[in-house]
Amino acid sequence: MPETNRTICALSAPVTVFTDELMAELVQKLPKDVLTSTLQTVLLRSQEKLLGSKVRNRRSDAYKAVLLARALANHVRPIPDELAVLLHEKDAAEVPMEGMDVGPAVVTPEEDFAANIDIPEFKQYASVFNKYPYMEVRDTENYGTLLVLGYCSGRGRTSNKLYRRDCIVVNPEGRRMGFKDLGSAIGVLSDVGPDGTHYTIKAIPYESGVGLKFWTNIVGEGDLHDQYRYLILSTEEGRRLSTACNNEPSWEGSLTKCRTERKAKGDFDPEPF
């Protein structure tokens, strides 16, 4: 393979898919406590190296390491408080950790990698729940173009029946992942509404050719068939489009056709250096 100086974005599809598959395999082979301890150690060392570099984007690079670690941590949740602090999911002041300092004692305000980066918050992406199905495409400065997805569970306003609104993502190569198994470029953002409804948001890099299936399930009764939604994302002449299919067979057929056409064009071949 010829040498190249080209870099791959830390949140690109190849990186997120590879690391997710790696973690899924490790979960089957190693105890959870070993994995969480290893993840914590690797994250600390990675941040030390990234923040100690001379590049202009060192704070952004260090934060992206946190985002990757968050995605890996999804495989071993619930996680220890020490790791949650490093992932910025808990406040260090609330979690005393013997022998470990986190925050200004280790990183000065000038070198704080999050100082000049907007750390994602639930309210920033809550608009995904404004319209069903819960998805939107968002252009961001730090993460590129993202496909934002929402999951929620709660009880009906009048029936009091427990429901869940979920989704499946089919990537352009045909790999399927449920919402709970998705890694997220912005971390896992969650909140609880006034009526007790639980909301969760994840975001993945946008790709043309992705298929999405949404549904609403009543626990103990099954899916609401009129709530199925089938979409295929595409990019044509610089415009991002979302095509709806009427039913699952037509959706599956369209996805197969898209994969066949992409393969014929060589879209799955390695990029030339």
Mean pLDDT of each 10-residue bin along the chain, 273 residues long: 45 73 86 87 83 71 81 87 80 50 41 55 93 94 90 90 95 92 89 92 93 95 94 88 93 91 66 41
Q: Strands, E, within 196-238: which ranges?
A: 198-205, 211-218, 222-223, 229-236
End-of-domain residue from the set 111, 145, 165: 111
Residues 31 and 162 grouped into a single domain: no
Same domain, 19 and 131: no
Q: What is the pLDDT of residue 123?
A: 92
| 48 lies in some domain | yes
The one-character DSSP state at 16 is H
Same domain, 53 and 77: yes
Clarify whether residues 182 and 260 are in a common domain: yes
In a domain, 143, yes or no: yes
Examine the domain organization and report whether 88 and 161 are in the same domain: no
Is 34 among the domain residues? yes
Residue 271 lies in a domain: no
Taking the model in full, what pTM does it have?
0.59
The conformational region for residue 238 under phi > 0 = left, psi -120 to 50 = alpha, else beta, is left
pLDDT at 113: 47
Cα(22)–Cα(19) distance, rounded to whole angstroms? 5
Instruction: Please give the pLDDT value at position 9.
Output: 56
Residue 236 shares a structural domain with residue 142:
yes
Domain boundary among 92, 111, 130: 111
- Per-residue pLDDT, 107: 43
Domain assignment of residue 69, yes or no: yes
What is the pLDDT, as a whole number, of residue 183? 87
Beta pairing class for 144-155 and 162-170: antiparallel
- DSSP state, residue 187: -
Structural domain includes residue 152: yes
Whose tokens are 């067979």? That residue is 249
Q: Based on the domain organization, do 162 and 257 belong to the same domain?
A: yes
Q: Are residues 140 and 257 in the same domain?
A: yes
Predicted local confidence at residue 98, as pLDDT: 42
DSSP state of 53: S
Indicate whether 137 and 243 sit together in one domain.
yes
Q: 47 and 131, same structural domain? A: no
Instruction: Give the domain range for residue 104.
Output: 13-111
Of 247, 215, 243, nearest in space to 228 by CA? 215
For 162, phi then psi, to 5°, come to: -80, 130
CB burial string 98-126: b at 16+ within 10 A, e below? eeeebeeeebeeeebbeeeeeebeeeebe
Please state, in angstroms and rounded to a whole number, the distance separating the CA atoms of residues 137 and 129: 13
Number of domains making up the chain? 2
Which of the listed residues 111, 131, 152 is the one where a domain comes to its end? 111
- Please state, in angstroms and rounded to a whole number, the distance separating the CA atoms of residues 110 and 95: 24
Q: Does the residue 254 lie in any domain? A: yes
Q: Give a yes or no: residue 4 inside a domain.
A: no
What's the rounded Cα separation, in Å, for the pair 20 and 204?
Answer: 12
Based on the fold, state whether residues 165 and 247 are members of the same structural domain.
yes
Residue 164 sits in the same domain as residue 107: no
